[in-house]
Structure 1
Amino acid sequence: MAKSTRATQALAKAGIAFTVLSYDYESGAARIGLQAAQAIDEPPARVLKTLMVVVDGKPACAVVPSDGELSMKRVATAFGGKTAAMMPPAEAEKTTGYHVGGISPFGSRKRVPVALEAAAVAEPYVIINGGQRGVMVRLAPADAVRVLGAVVAALVA
């Protein structure tokens, strides 16, 4: 399993301090983020999942705790839109250049607006997908917000 991905390369290029974590990805897991949190023995509030969405017909990315349920109304509001919906998996893969289960907000093929759950910013560190199934990166939430140019908003229901 490669530990150097487009995501880790983008973080390194931006001068962001991060640690790479690996775990055994289970392709049949019902909730990938929760499976990752359990595998690396971290609280789900710190292990964030990357969800690709469409807001008023335009692609965007929401990064939320793995145990949180995304509120489409809050997502639309965070991006200044009226409607939001989950992006179909094939479209998410095409937009990001990553496979579902390995989608990272860092180093995506196409840069899209990103929103990060406000509650996660209070954590001492967060863990986000590193651009490959079974690869995560641990970094300061403020660094994630800065490198992504992310909006910080309440996104979970």
Structure 2
Amino acid sequence: MTPAILFLETQHATFTLHQYDCTAHDDFGAHAAAQLQVPLAQVFKTLLTEGEQGAVVALVPASNKVNLKRLAKAAGMKKLEMMAPAKAERLTGYKVGGISPFAQKKRLPTVVDASALQHSEILVSGGKRGLSLGVSAAVLQRLLGAVIAEIAE
């Protein structure tokens, strides 16, 4: 049981659990998609960014990269850059490859790529490697106050 699962349960959110063997050391999204036999575009990676005005969480399909200019605009910030993995781990309380958008140490502004709306459910990290959570974009918006915007490229 991870903090992300506990959070979703306490919020009475609708979600599904997807466990798989995680042997990857990088490209965790592609590995999860292959193991779970789902399209890569349906698996979203949780990326941490930072700028002068603070940190922002970006959720983008594992098949894409985040466009930092579009992300900054969607978050109402001037400029963002990728956060160092060690700092992301300290800030969220999760290990890289298992950073969930839910139940991080500190609630951060979150932006979800608009392509999430094309799926009834997307997969995000469940808080540890080898565990994904299936949630709708509406759940992300409601529980995280997430902004939906075109931030992937």
The 5 A counterparts of 1:72-91 are: 72-91=68-87
Match in the other structure for 1:21 = 18
Task: Please say if residues 21 and 135 of structure 1, whose CA atoms lie closer than 8 Å, have aligned partners that are also in contact.
Answer: yes
The secondary structure found in structure 1 opposite 2:41 is: coil
Match in the other structure for 1:137 = 133
Residue 113 (structure 1) aligned with residue 109 (structure 2): yes
Pick from 45, 55, 58: which aligns with 1:59? Answer: 55
The secondary structure found in structure 1 opposite 2:46 is: strand
The secondary structure found in structure 1 opposite 2:87 is: helix
Q: What percent of counterpart residues are identical?
A: 37
Q: Over the residues paired in the alignment, what is the CA RMSD in angstroms? A: 1.1
Match in the other structure for 1:68 = 64
Match in the other structure for 1:153 = 149
The secondary structure found in structure 2 opposite 1:112 is: coil
How high is the TM-score relative to the length of structure 2?
A: 0.96
Shift of 1:124: 1.3
Task: Please say if residues 102 and 130 of structure 1, whose CA atoms lie closer than 8 Å, have aligned partners that are also in contact.
Answer: yes
Residue 9 (structure 1) aligned with residue 19 (structure 2): no
Unaligned runs of 5+ in 1: none
Q: Which amino acid aligns with 1:131?
A: G
Shift of 1:23: 0.8
Shift of 1:129: 0.3
Task: Please say if residues 55 and 79 of structure 1, whose CA atoms lie closer than 8 Å, have aligned partners that are also in contact.
Answer: no
Task: Please say if residues 104 and 129 of structure 1, whose CA atoms lie closer than 8 Å, have aligned partners that are also in contact.
Answer: yes
- Number of residue-to-residue matches in the alignment: 153
Task: Please say if residues 125 and 141 of structure 1, whose CA atoms lie closer than 8 Å, have aligned partners that are also in contact.
Answer: yes
The secondary structure found in structure 2 opposite 1:102 is: coil
The secondary structure found in structure 1 opposite 2:127 is: strand
**Stretch of structure 1 that moved more, 48-57 or 124-133:** 48-57
